[in-house]
Amino acid sequence: MNALEDMVYMTAIAVAQQSDCQKRHFGAVAVKDGRILLYRANMKLPYHKYLCEGECIRMKIDSGMDSMIGACGHAEERLIWALGAGALGSDIYVLQVDMEGKAIPVSTKRFYCARCATTMYYAGVRGVWVFVVDHWEFLTTEEAIRSSYEFALGEKKA
C-alpha cells in the first residue's frame, strides 16, 4: 500500500470503532485529489433505535439482504450526506472491523449493499475501494451496484 492507502486504512479502522451497531462496524473514508475529505462510521439513527432494543433486528437478516431494514445509517451514506455536493467525483474506501478493532477484509473484490451503491450513484461518487485480503481494490459505482444486487437477490452471500 502507498502512504495515502495506509492513512485511509488506519483512519477507516479508527472511525469504524466508533460505530454503535450491534452486528457490524464499518468505517468509510472519502478521498478526492489524493487527500482525505471526511470519514464516518455506521451509527444508529435516532428514530430507528427501537429496532435494536434487546437484539438488533439485523441479527435475523443476512448481510446484503433487505438493506432498507435496520436502525443504522450506513457509513457510506452518512459520509455522502455529510459531504453533500463535495461527494461528486470522490472515491469512498470502506472497511469492516471486528469488535476488537481488527480489520475484516473481504476475500474477493465485491460490494454488497445496494442501498449504499445507489446512494453513491446519485451523489456522483466515482467508485468504492474495498479491502481485499491485504490491499485495496476499486469498483466503479456501476460495478458496485451490479455486485450489490447479486447479494440483494440472494445469488451470493456476504
Joined together, the cell numbers standing for residue 34 give 489524493
For the chain, what percent of residues have pLDDT higher than 70? Answer: 99
Instruction: Share the mean pLDDT of the chain.
Output: 93
With cut-offs at 50, 70 and 90, classify the pLDDT of residue 66.
Answer: confident
Question: What pLDDT is attached to residue 67?
Answer: 73
How, if at all, do strands 43-44 and 72-73 pair? antiparallel
Least confident of 45-49, 81-85, 116-120, 129-133: 45-49
| Confidence at residue 56, expressed as pLDDT on a 0 to 100 scale | 80
Between 73 and 139, the more confident residue is: 139
**CA–CA separation, 22 vs 129, rounded Å?**
24
What 3-state class would DSSP assign to 104? strand
pLDDT in tens, 104-155: 999 999 999 999 999 999 999 999 999 999 999 999 999 999 999 998 888 8
Closest CA to 136 of 101, 100, 111, 102: 111
Cα atoms in the 13 Å half-sphere on the side-chain side of 14: 9
pLDDT of amino acid 61: 81
Q: Name the band, by pLDDT with cuts 50, 70 and 90, for residue 48.
A: confident
Provide the greatest CA pair distance for the chain: 43
pLDDT above 80: residue 158: no
Residue 72 has pLDDT above 80, yes or no: yes
- Domains of the chain, with CATH numbers? 3-152 (3.40.140.10)
